[in-house]
Amino acid sequence: MGHDHHHEHGPDHGHDDFPGHEHGTLKSYATGFILSVILTAIPFWLVMSKAFATPSTTAIVILAFAAVQIVVHMVYFLHMNTKSENGWTMLALIFTIVLVVITLSGSMWVMYHLNQNMQPTIEQIKALP
């Protein structure tokens, strides 16, 4: 009957020690920070240097860098990986992707229509009652 206690290894054996449940190390946070700075500096440089001829190309490249930066933040700062904890990691990833798609497409739609509607031509001004 004394076999029930052989699974306990001491007071430091807590329930937070899941195999895929890693806490961030200084190296992982530094890597995430450096990648975030690079992924912010490159689009900033692209805009300031006018590297692309058309603003739409610049916007698409910036959106691509933004998507990569979201993944960097999820991996290095939120510690999300492929190991699921009762399905919540996958659900959070799907929710994040849906929000990002809605936000980015909505932003592009609004900016396109603002550009179309906020600069009236002389003919449009003369046509006003």
pLDDT in tens, 33-81: 999 999 999 999 999 998 888 888 888 899 889 888 988 888 888 777 7
Contact present, 96 and 74 (Cβ < 8 Å): yes
pLDDT at 49: 92
Distance, C-alpha 24 to centroid of its chain: 18
Is residue 91 pLDDT above 60, yes or no?
yes
User: 14 vs 101, which has greater pLDDT?
Assistant: 101
pTM of the model: 0.56
For residue 79, give the nearest of 37, 39, 31, 42 by alpha carbon.
Answer: 31
Alpha helices in 49-87 (DSSP H): 55-76
pLDDT at 19: 45
For residue 46, give the nearest of 68, 26, 64, 34 by alpha carbon.
Answer: 64
pLDDT at 16: 46
Distance CA 128, CA 123 (A): 9
Half-sphere exposure of 129 (CA within 13 A, CB side): 0
Mean pLDDT of the chain: 77
Kindly report which listed range (18-22, 41-45, 77-81, 88-92) carries the lowest average pLDDT score: 18-22
User: 116 vs 10, which has greater pLDDT?
Assistant: 116
